[in-house]
Amino acid sequence: MAAEPMIDVRDLVQRIGGQEILRGFSLPVMRGETLVLLGRSGGGKSVFLRHLIGLMKPISGRILVEGEDITGYSERQLEAVRRKVGMVFQDGALFDSMTVAENVAFPLRERGERDGAVVARKVNETLALVNMTGHEHKMPVNLSGGMRKRVALARAIVSPPEVILYDEPTAGLDPIVSDSINRLIRRMQRQLHVTSIVVTHDMVSCYHVADRVALLNAGRVYFYGTVEELKQSRDPVIRDFVDGRSDEAD
Amino acid sequence: MNLLLALGAAFQAFCTYLGQLGELASETVRSVFAGRVRLGLTLQQISHIGFGSQMVVIVTGMFTGAVFTAQTFFQFARLNMESAVGPVISVAMCRELGPVLTGLMVAGRVGAAMSAELGTMKVTQQIDALRALAVHPVDYLVVPRALAMLVSVPLLVGECIFFGILASYLVATQVLGVGSSYFLMNMYKFTEAEDIFMGVIKGFIFAVIIVLISCREGLHARDGAVGVGRATTEAVVICSLAVLISNFFLTMFLNIFFPAGV
């Protein structure tokens, strides 16, 4: 018997400003794997990610997390699901009134940890995991883009989640910082055995972190398979995306 | 036809707005009764709203009391009723000027700050980050502000009334030559506890109006920095208008329970 997907998205439809962004989008995500969702900018990748933790409600379709249909859940009902999921937002979405350490400690405190020593130890361990030791007292405004993403990742994993969602983790970063973020995503999977969904249009990142790849095109999953299958595909839509070719003339 | 359609759309938008305020109020009340109150954040907000607004409220109350005393004195002097200045000022400060001036000052200072802070958090996805971390934005952002406003605004109203009357007393007795005992005796004679209750009740209601409108504007901000600016402006304008309009209806309604001049 085939294993049940950890997350199963079925026939998702979403419309924003009169434009249909997702048109029957279906995608299974298996437990423990890193799935990379590729697609063009503005194609609905981030919109899809936001549906997984109820930040957006679909017009139709279903989202199942560990077999539980969360589509119609209220904000309060979603809290239990959200405790299992960590999300790394594109710009980090760090709380700008808090220091780095306070940002990372936030989920611990909100989940009832009152012992200051325990909080400090976990914060230090997690910041070390993302190579951010020594930046505890900085404010988010004083961090570079890559550092913000590392702190956002630390905040997402400090209270260990079962799933991590990455929204464009390497967007706007130089190749070296991008590489360190990619290695970090891999390390999270090895050390924490989490299921990861990475939304990106960065092929280098995709090849580095993916166990499985899906390509979003025209609101639907156009391709779903392994990295090798993606590389070997001769489909023109896939090749254009993978090779970074537009159909515009010079 | 177009005018009718425009009026219909405006009415629909108004009803939607009231619905959103009602929803926010109900979520806030449910959150408080479910015990999801963060004491530390509430105290921090009390310090920011209550302590931080004192100077502006005191100065506003004092100078309004002072100028109102001078104008009342100039008119009453023509009727040889100078000693009636005290009760006129004290009743006006308790029933109307204290709560309304405090409401307007708090709307400008605190309402703007609330909508700007929440609006910035909204457009920079910090509110989504809160939700993603399983923290309800109403629990974390609205409840502490609402409780702090309910504690602070009635106290600020009391402060505004006190300093308004104090300034009135000083101007009347030290500048305009009204006898101190006449001023005080007439003030005590015509000012009732009901006048003070009325001011405090208005303070509570203005606190609710300001916090709901400001938080609603912040939580619905969009379109980046422009949207935050728009939300802040709208919060101040709508809060100020709501304070002034609701004050009229509150006066008429509360006068049934606390009739003036009886």
ipTM of the complex: 0.87
Q: What residue of A is the nearest CA neighbor of B124?
A: A93
pLDDT class for A175, splitting at 50, 70, 90? confident
Residue A112 resides in a domain? yes
Low-confidence ranges of chain B (pLDDT < 50): none
Q: Compare CB distances from B136 to A50, A75, A87 and report the shortest one's residue.
A: A75
Residue B22 resides in a domain? no
The 10s digit of each residue's pLDDT in A79-99 is 999 998 989 998 889 999 999
Our CA-based measurement puts residue B21 at a distance from the nearest CA of chain A, in whole angstroms, of 17
Distance, in Å, from the CA atom of A82 to the CA atom of A54, rounded to the nearest integer, reads 8
User: What is the pLDDT at residue A132?
Assistant: 86
Please give the mean pLDDT across all residues of chain A.
87
In Å, what is the CA distance from A107 to each residue of A14, A85, B37, B190? 30, 12, 17, 57
Residue A142 resides in a domain? yes
Q: How many CA atoms lie within 13 A of A188 on its CB side?
A: 35
Residue A11 resides in a domain? no
Residue B12 resides in a domain? no
Residue A113 resides in a domain? yes
Residue A67 resides in a domain? no
Residue A99 resides in a domain? yes
Q: Is the pLDDT assigned to residue A1 strictly greater than 60?
A: no
Q: Report yes or no: A105 and A42 within 8 Å, Cβ to Cβ.
A: no
The fraction of chain A above a pLDDT of 90, given in percent, is 32
Q: Report yes or no: A10 and A22 within 8 Å, Cβ to Cβ.
A: no
Distance, in Å, from the CA atom of B205 to the CA atom of A175, rounded to the nearest integer, reads 56
Q: Considering its fold, how many domains does chain A have in total?
A: 1
Residues of B with CB under 8 A from a CB of A: 120-121, 124-126, 128-129, 131-136
The 10s digit of each residue's pLDDT in B230-258 is 999 999 999 999 999 999 999 999 888 88
Our CA-based measurement puts residue B128 at a distance from the nearest CA of chain A, in whole angstroms, of 7
Decide if B125 and A53 are in contact by the 8 Å CB cutoff.
Answer: no
Residue B16 resides in a domain? no
A110 touches chain B (CB under 8 A): yes
Residue B36 resides in a domain? no
Give exposure, A161-187, as e/b (b: 16+ Cβ within 10 Å).
bbbbbbbbbbbebeeebbebbbebbee
Q: How many CA atoms lie within 13 A of A182 on its CB side?
A: 20
Q: Residue A115: enclosing H or E segment and its boundaries?
A: none
Q: What domain range is A133 assigned to? A: 94-147
Q: What is the DSSP letter of B84?
A: G
Our CA-based measurement puts residue B121 at a distance from the nearest CA of chain A, in whole angstroms, of 8
Query: In the structure encoding, which two tokens stand for residue A203, read together?
Result: 């092929």
Give exposure, B242-256, as e/b (b: 16+ Cβ within 10 Å).
bbeebbeebbeebee
Query: In the structure encoding, which two tokens stand for residue A193, read together?
Result: 């055995």
Residue A237 resides in a domain? no
* 3-class DSSP assignment, residue B59: helix
Residue B204 resides in a domain? yes
Q: What domain range is B246 assigned to? A: 44-257
Residue B149 resides in a domain? yes
Q: Considering its fold, how many domains does chain B have in total?
A: 1
> Which residues are within 8 A (CB) of A226 and not within 5 positions of it... i.e. 6 or more apart?
A211, A212, A213
Torsion of Cα atoms, A15 then A16 then A19 then A25, to 10°: -40
